[in-house]
Amino acid sequence: MMTLQEQAASRGDPFAQLDLALSGARAPESEEPTQMRSEAIVWTCKICFCKDAQRLLRDGMWYWACDTCGTKLNAEEIAVAATQTQSFNTPSLQAPKGPHRQVKIFDHEQLMRVVRTRDAITGDSGDKRRIEVTLAKLLEQDEARPLALPGPAYEATLEELSHAFPAFDRVISEVVAPSLSILAAGGFVRPAPVLLVGSPGIGKTFFLQSLATALAIPLVKQDMSSTTTGASLSGLGIHWANSSPGSVFRALAFGKPNCPAVANPLFLLDELDKCAGDQRFDPLGPLHALLEEESAGAFEDESLPGVTFNVAEVRWVATANSVRGIPAPILSRFHIIEIEDPTRSERIELAERIFASAVRAMRLREFADAMPDSMLDRAAEMPPREFKRISQMAVGRALARGDFQPRSEDFEIRGPVPKHKMGF
């Protein structure tokens, strides 16, 4: 007779398979495909005030425990957490809409080997539990991720994008269109990493957001100006107390909220020239391997020793105001394209698109997505980031007044109030 643990494993439960692997037993093969579950609940630990708990299996029994200190939740706490969480179960990992092919990203046999040898990797119980949970989630999913492919009308889509962003025509014609043509013909290609160099406020980030939307692929943004170590990209090693996977691993392993993982997301390294930090923890260090075709096929996150995964299909795009300060070995890995400053008419068109995009993002169907004509000239002089922020304020002011159409005064922002010195 099978134990509860073996029965759970026979149903394809990766947590049970994980425990069997640790005990040296062989996990029965699953007859049905496993489903991806949400293993986090809304809860606050009374001991360490951590807000995350994990569902674990021990001795054939499931229980919930604090992700930081390991304190178990009682039945009442689980019931309360369940009422605050939409569901413990989510649909299985789905392929993105549109055509796709599969690319192997992880190797289940390798994951199981790491599980069996975890005692040799680290002696810290917290790290062991984190590694177990992470690998269990990976074992729930397929080894492959869908490769998002261009749709039948991709050429027309790129033409519209080029018309909307004339300053970025070279990016589309030299990099995006050729790679999509190869994919559409049934081939495989590693898109050349691109570095967009141009003045601040010309819409580099907004263009890349629009490009990701047009290609129907996730956009993963890494703000390099606030990145001080390579851990943001390649994970923090297990010798650190707060060891955790990097953004590259998370994107390919689990995707983004409401956006399933794909093999070829668009990864944006924003403001690459403003990257700073202690050279002992070089923030750009991981890019030597991530941007190199030979090493990208087997990249290792530092928080998961022994686990390699395939990042060769990722689309890498970086932005910078200047190439000064960027190390030559990093620059040599990029196809560099200089973006010219847009004309006045192009700035006006950009501002109109930013405002319309801001309204759509707020899901206000009845609100007009066109700016007052009197605002066009002023909007053209504002940096895109600033104008997007002001647009959101203008929409709120109009709604507070009961209007669904903004006025020029809704965009007015007062300057800082001068501080008056006290005098006698």
CATH number at residue 310: 3.40.50.300
265 and 195 in a common domain:
yes
pLDDT in tens, 103-134: 999 999 999 998 888 777 777 777 788 888 88
Residue 412 has pLDDT above 70, yes or no: yes
376 and 300 in a common domain:
no
Q: With contact defined as beta carbons under 8 Å apart, do 361 and 218 qualify? A: no
- Grouping H, G, I as helix, E, B as strand and the rest as coil, residue 281 is helix
> What whole-number distance in Å separates Cα of residue 191 and Cα of residue 203?
22
User: What letters, b where the CB count within 10 A reaches 16 and e where it falls short, cover 85-104?
Assistant: eeeeeeeebeebeeebeebe
Least confident range from 68-72, 220-224, 294-298, 410-414: namely 68-72
158 and 289 in a common domain:
yes
294 and 211 in a common domain:
yes
CA 237 vs. chain centroid, Å, equals: 20
Q: What is the CA radius of gyration of the chain?
A: 25
| Between residues 32 and 97, the one the model is more confident about | 97
309 and 407 in a common domain:
no
422 is a domain residue: no
> What whole-number distance in Å separates Cα of residue 147 and Cα of residue 323?
32
Q: What is the mean pLDDT of the chain?
A: 78
175 and 216 in a common domain:
yes
306 and 285 in a common domain:
yes
- Grouping H, G, I as helix, E, B as strand and the rest as coil, residue 43 is coil
Amino acid at 84: Q
328 and 357 in a common domain:
no
For the chain, the domain total comes to 2
295 and 181 in a common domain:
yes
Handedness of CA 13, 18, 20, 24 (dihedral sign): positive
> What whole-number distance in Å separates Cα of residue 348 and Cα of residue 270?
24
> What whole-number distance in Å separates Cα of residue 42 and Cα of residue 73?
12
pTM metric for this prediction: 0.68
Q: With contact defined as beta carbons under 8 Å apart, do 276 and 327 qualify? A: no
403 is a domain residue: yes
Structure-block tokens of residue 267: 């990864």
Task: Give backbone dihedrals phi and psi of 61, rounded to 5 degrees, phi first.
Answer: -120, 135
Q: What's the domain range around 310? A: 147-338
The string of DSSP codes covering 208-255 is HHHHHHHHT--EEEEEGGG--STHHHH---TTSTT----HHHHHHHH-
Question: Domain end: 319, 338, 357, which one?
Answer: 338
Beta 61-66 vs 53-58: how paired, if at all? antiparallel
156 and 256 in a common domain:
yes
Measured CA distances, 58 to 24, 214, 224, 369 (Å): 15, 46, 41, 55
316 and 285 in a common domain:
yes
81 is a domain residue: no
Using pLDDT thresholds of 50, 70 and 90, give the confidence band for residue 81: low
CA angle 227, 229, 234 (to 5 degrees): 100
> What whole-number distance in Å separates Cα of residue 14 and Cα of residue 135?
9
Residue 350 has pLDDT above 70, yes or no: yes
